[in-house]
Amino acid sequence: MKTLSTFLLLLLVAAMPAQAFDLDMGGGLGDVLKNLPIGKDKGKKQESGSDGVLGLAQAANFKEFSQEEEIKIGTEISGNLLGAAPLVKDVALQHYVNQIGRWVASQSERKDLVWYFGVIESEDVNAFSAPGGYVLITKGLYRKLGSEAQLAGVLAHEIGHIIKKHHLKVMQQSQLIGSASKLVGDKAGQGNSFVKNLIGNGAEICARGLDKDAEFEADRIGMVLTARAGYDAFGLVDVLQEIGHVPSNDSSVALLFKTHPAPDERLAKLGDAVGDRLDSVSDGKALESRLYRLK
Amino acid sequence: MKINQKTLWLTFGLLISISISTATQAGETGTVIRADNLKAESSGSAASTDKISPGDQVEIIDRQGAWFKVKLRQTTGWLRLLSVKRGEATKAQGSATDVLKLATGQAGTGQVTAVAGIRGLSEEELKGAKFNPQELGLLKSNSVSAENAQQFASAAGLQVRQVEYLPAPISPEPTKPQGGLGR
Ligand SMILES: [Zn+2]
């Protein structure tokens, strides 16, 4: 029986999309398996047949996170990310980015979330999102921007990940779901053990990639939300063109290029998707002069 | 004194030309990344004057909305922004392949880790990060209301437009999850 459940477990793991874990990240799969409920009460569970490995896995597969859970997970991730790179201490900058981000998010179907945007102290070229409405962009990427439409485009890509719950889907696929009630019962943030089991050490999930199709989808949503907000829809395209010029061995783009498809590939995919579809909104504003300049 | 003044003017002129060229991207080389048509005007309904294929080199003269004004084989015309990548083909393609390798994990993880971690947000830094409640509080305190954001948008004349979400393009071969468990 023990062999059987081990076998089933292996089968489940094999069936998971490879993107759900990056084995090379270390800690990922090992911890996942240790923390699976089935690992802990193997003795009890295996007797009850339908309640065994497959039953749990199925329950996990179909489990949807509530918005409350989603926000708690995002809060935990963001708090950890900010532990690695704090906010740039420029209130005017942070206020500006929040106004642009919130305006773009308001054009999405999740305008009722409380949205948080921030510029973080890092010379890396990257941006991050976490479930529930958290978006962070590095100073290094902000520095490359030439217009407000470009900023809007970058934020809109991240907003796309959030409205499509891309990170949550990875978590669901990776069978990490335990009892949701425990999560809701725990205090948000700070050493929430359930959230820890779910996402590893907080910000770690930001170093794991989403799957390529999720990135292409976020690019498409990014362009549309930017266009809806009245901006030049091609702000994100400008940024991708710019990032494409950074040598791939430059350490500032190492994580971005590890977690995202190559800029050329993203541009080509966008080209296929856009065609003439955005021709009617070609009068969007770039707002070069309103872009807040870093001190 | 005379020489100094001349140098000053030269520097001034140089500065002007630099700022103009970055604004209009005049004379910049572009590489065609997808098959498309060169158009007589910056409009989808304009007459096609030439066909372009991936790898073609163009000179980017101007940009207007979703269009680049380009010079291709002595003909001036318009190309969709997403059909052209700014920069030289040889350089761009070389780096693109490297990037692709990195993105698909073909380059091997050792390489990725080696270039990361010198500065910025490496995987190690993210994994080792400690929850920072003060910074999180600060992030939350910066949040603005939808109304506030709308006012700021209106102040710049931004107007909401109805735009449908873009469907995923139909690709001949579906993108498969990268890598595998065994790697
Ligand atoms: Zn992304």
Q: What is the ipTM of this complex?
A: 0.75
Interface contact A91-B178, CB threshold 8 A: no
The CA distance from A128 to A34, in Å, is: 28
- Of A20-24, A126-130, A196-200, A264-268, where does mean pLDDT reach its minimum? A20-24
Interface contact B177-A91, CB threshold 8 A: no
Rounded to the nearest angstrom, the minimum Cα separation between A256 and chain B is 9
pLDDT number for residue B59? 94
pLDDT number for residue B152? 98
pLDDT bracket for residue A17 (50, 70, 90): very low
Residue A31, pLDDT above cutoff 50 = no
Pairing of strands B67-72, B57-64: antiparallel
Rounded to the nearest angstrom, the minimum Cα separation between A48 and chain B is 30
Q: Which residue on chain A is closest to B100 by alpha carbon?
A: A262
Interface contact B129-A84, CB threshold 8 A: yes
Rounded to the nearest angstrom, the minimum Cα separation between B59 and chain A is 16
Interface contact A272-B34, CB threshold 8 A: yes
Residue A84 DSSP code:
H
Interface contact B132-A83, CB threshold 8 A: yes
pLDDT number for residue B179? 43
Residue A189, pLDDT above cutoff 60 = no
The CA distance from A7 to A2, in Å, is: 8
Q: Please tell me the distance between residue A152's alpha carbon and the centre of ligand 1 in angstroms.
A: 14
Q: Which residue on chain B is closest to A137 by alpha carbon?
A: B121
pLDDT number for residue A209? 79
Residue A290 and residue B156 in contact, taking contact as beta carbons nearer than 8 Å: yes
Closest in A83, A114, A213 to B131, CB measured? A83
Question: Is the model more confident about B114 or about B17?
Answer: B17
Average pLDDT over residues A178-186: 44
For every residue of A212-240, DSSP letters joined together read HHHHHHHHHHHHHHHHHTTB-TTHHHHHH
Rounded to the nearest angstrom, the minimum Cα separation between A241 and chain B is 7
Interface contact A94-B117, CB threshold 8 A: no
DSSP count for chain A of H helices, then E strands: 17, 3
pLDDT bracket for residue A160 (50, 70, 90): very high
Closest in B130, B144, B168 to A83, CB measured? B130
Interface contact B123-A272, CB threshold 8 A: no
**Among candidate residues A254, A96, A225, the one with its CA nearest the CA of residue B162:** A225
Work out the widest C-alpha separation in chain A, in whole angstroms: 69
pLDDT number for residue A139? 97
The CA distance from B56 to B84, in Å, is: 9
Q: Which residue on chain A is closest to B153 by alpha carbon?
A: A103
Interface contact A241-B122, CB threshold 8 A: no
Residue A18 DSSP code:
G
Average pLDDT over residues A101-114: 98
The tokens describing B181, both together, are: 């468990």
Q: Which residues in A lie closer than 8 A to residue B157 (C-beta atoms)?
A: 230, 285
Interface contact A140-B177, CB threshold 8 A: no
Residue A226, pLDDT above cutoff 80 = yes
Give, as residue ranges, everything with CB less than 5 Å from ion ligand 1.
A 215, 218
Closest in A86, A202, A237 to B81, CB measured? A237
Closest in A81, A95, A254 to B129, CB measured? A81
Strand order in the sheet with B67-72: B48-52, B36-39, B75-80, B67-72, B57-64, B28-32, B84-86
How many cross-chain Cβ pairs, A to B, lie less than 8 Å apart? 289
Select from B121, B158, B170 the residue whose CB has the most chain A CBs within 10 Å, as the one to mutate to test that interface: B121
pLDDT number for residue A197? 63
- Find all residues with CB under 8 Å of A54, minimum gap 6, and list them: A8, A12
Question: Is the model more confident about A11 or about B34?
Answer: B34
Average pLDDT over residues B127-143: 94
- Of A120-129, A145-154, B45-54, B102-111, where does mean pLDDT reach its minimum? B102-111
Residue B23 and residue B61 in contact, taking contact as beta carbons nearer than 8 Å: no
The CA distance from A268 to B83, in Å, is: 8
Query: pLDDT tens-digit profile of B65-100?
Result: 889 999 998 899 999 999 999 887 544 343 444 433
Residue A144, pLDDT above cutoff 90 = yes
For chain A, what is the mean pLDDT?
78
Closest in B67, B115, B133 to A189, CB measured? B133
Interface contact A279-B43, CB threshold 8 A: yes
Interface contact B66-A247, CB threshold 8 A: no
Closest in B121, B142, B150 to A255, CB measured? B121
Residue B138, pLDDT above cutoff 70 = yes
Closest in B130, B131, B157 to A285, CB measured? B157
Average pLDDT over residues A56-64: 52
Percent of chain A residues topping a pLDDT of 90 = 56
Query: pLDDT tens-digit profile of A69-93?
Result: 999 999 999 999 999 999 999 999 9
Rounded to the nearest angstrom, the minimum Cα separation between A47 and chain B is 30
Residue A229, pLDDT above cutoff 80 = yes
Query: What one-letter code names the amino acid at B14?
Result: L
Q: Domains plus CATH for chain B?
A: 21-89+101-127 (2.30.30.40)
pLDDT number for residue A202? 66
Interface contact B103-A284, CB threshold 8 A: no
Average pLDDT over residues A255-277: 92
Long-range contacts of B11-14 (CB under 8 A, 24+ apart): none
